[in-house]
Amino acid sequence: MFKESNNFKKFESKVWLSSPTMHGPEIEYVKEAYETNWMSTVGKNINEVERLACEYIGCKHAVALSAGTASLHLSMKLAGIEAYGMPKVGHGALEGKKVFCSDMTFDATVNPIVYEGGEPVFIDTEYDTWNMDPVALEKAFKIYPDTKVVVIAHLYGTPGKIDELNAIIKKHGAILVEDAAESMGATYKGVQTGTFGKYNTISFNGNKIITGSSGGCFLTNDEEAANKVRKWSTQARENAAWYQHEELGYNYRMSNVVAGVVRGQFPYLDEHIAQKKAIYERYKEGLKDLPVSMNPMDLEISEPNYWLSCLIINEDAMCKQVRGEQDVCYVKEAGKTCPTEILEAIASINAEGRPIWKPMHMQPIYRLNPFIVRDGNGRARSNAYIAGGVADVGMDIFARGLCLPSDNKMTAEQQDRIIEVIRACFE
C-alpha cells in the first residue's frame, strides 16, 4: 500500500480524471428546447449539432444519436449489408462473419460487432501510438482472408497509423469503420479523425472532450448511408400516414435537450483541446527524470486532442504486481513502483486516475476469440506476455501503464501536487 508518510495534503474538492466543463450557452439551448416544447428527438438543437459536426469534422453528413455506441452499431449494420448483403429478418448483418478490431479499447468499440452476429478478431497494439498494429493487421488478413470489415479506435485521443492501416484495408477490399469517440478534434496529416472510414463515430459522453452528458454522431460522406441511419434510429418507420415498418429499427435518435448541451459545447472544443495539451506537457516536464514515458504521440504527422494523459513505467522500474479478475496486489520495492501503487497514491489525495483499458482479448467475455500479434505463432496467452515488443503489446501496456488525472479544470498547482505524489512512489 502507498504510505502517506509524506503527508501530502488532500484536495478539498476531487480532481477528476475528465469531467464535463460547462460554459453557460449550454443551459440557454436546453432552456430554449424546454420553452418551445421541443423535448423529443426533433428540434433546432439536433439540426445545429449535425451542422456543426459536419462543419468542424469536414464530412458531408452527420446523424445525431443517443450514444456513440448507437452509431457504431448502425455502422456495423451498414458495413455488414454492404459486404455480405441484406440479412434475413432476425439475423444480424454480420451473422457468422469475422470482424477485425482494435484490441486495446473500451468494449463499446467491440460489442456492436456482436450485436450484429459477428465475431470480433482482436488485432494487437503497437508501441508507437498505442493503437492497432498494421503488421498484425496484415497478418490477420493472411489468416482470415475473407474478412471484409475492420474497426479501428484512436486510443485516448491519439490517431493510429491511418495511412498504413487504410492501405492494408483497401488492398484486401475491406470496409473501414472508424471509432473516433475518444479522438474528436484530433487530426492526422491535417485531416480530422472521424473522416477516414466509410462509416465513422464521435462521442459526447460525459467524460469526452466536449459533452452532452450522453450522445454521439454518425459521420459519413455517403448520403444514402446517412439516410439509412436516420431512418433506422427512429424505429425504421416508413413514409406513411400510419406506423408502417418494413425493416428492423431502433430508438437511437438524440434528444433535442441533450443536443442543446452539445450545441453549447461545440464552440469550446478547441479551447478544451488546448487545456488538455497543457496538462499533458506539464506532466511530461514534471516527470521527465523518472523511469517513465508518456503516451506516445508522433507530432510530425498527427495532432492529438490530448483527451487523457497517460504514463507507462519502464520495465526495470516496475515492482512486482499481480492482477486477478477484480483484485490486484503488489510488493513494494525501493526505487520502483507499479500502476496500482501510483493510482492508490493519487486517490489518497482525492484525485482520480485509472488503469489503461484492459485489452479486449483479456476480457472474460472475449477470451476465446481470435487474437493476432505481429510475432510468434498462434494466439498469445491471456495470462502472460513477452516484453520487448514481441508478443502481446497490449497486455504489456496494460500491465505497466495508467491514466492520470486529466481534467481541464485542474489547476497547475493541483497538477504539481499530483506530480509530487507520483515522484514519491519511486522513493
Which amino acids are annotated catalytic? 208
Instruction: Take residue 148 and report the three cell numbers written for it.
Output: 471484409
Instruction: Provide the residue count of the chain.
Output: 427
d(CA 71, CA 86): 19
Cα–Cα distances in angstroms (integers) from residue 317 to residues 144, 177, 312, 332, 343, in the given order: 39, 38, 10, 11, 16
4-25: b or e for each residue (b if 16 or more CB lie within 10 Å)?
A: eeeebeebeeebbbbbbbeeeb
d(CA 333, CA 9): 24
Q: Which residue has the cell 495511412?
A: 163
8 A C-beta contact, residue 50 and residue 62: yes
Cα angle 378, 383, 387 (rounded to 5 degrees) comes to 75
> Which residues contact residue 65 at a Cβ distance below 8 angstroms, ignoring those fewer than 6 apart?
71, 74, 215, 216, 217, 218, 229, 233, 252, 253, 254
3 state DSSP class of 366: helix
Instruction: Take residue 321 and report the three cell numbers written for it.
Output: 504486481
Q: Which of 297, 273, 202, 248 minimizes the C-alpha distance to 80? A: 248
8 A C-beta contact, residue 224 and residue 200: no
Dihedral (Cα; 380, 383, 387, 393), 10-degree rounding: 60
3 state DSSP class of 152: strand
Maximal CA-CA distance, the chain? 74
> Which residues contact residue 246 at a Cβ distance below 8 angstroms, ignoring those fewer than 6 apart?
236, 238
> Which residues contact residue 170 at a Cβ distance below 8 angstroms, ignoring those fewer than 6 apart?
none
* SS percent in the chain: helix, strand, coil, step 5: 35, 20, 45
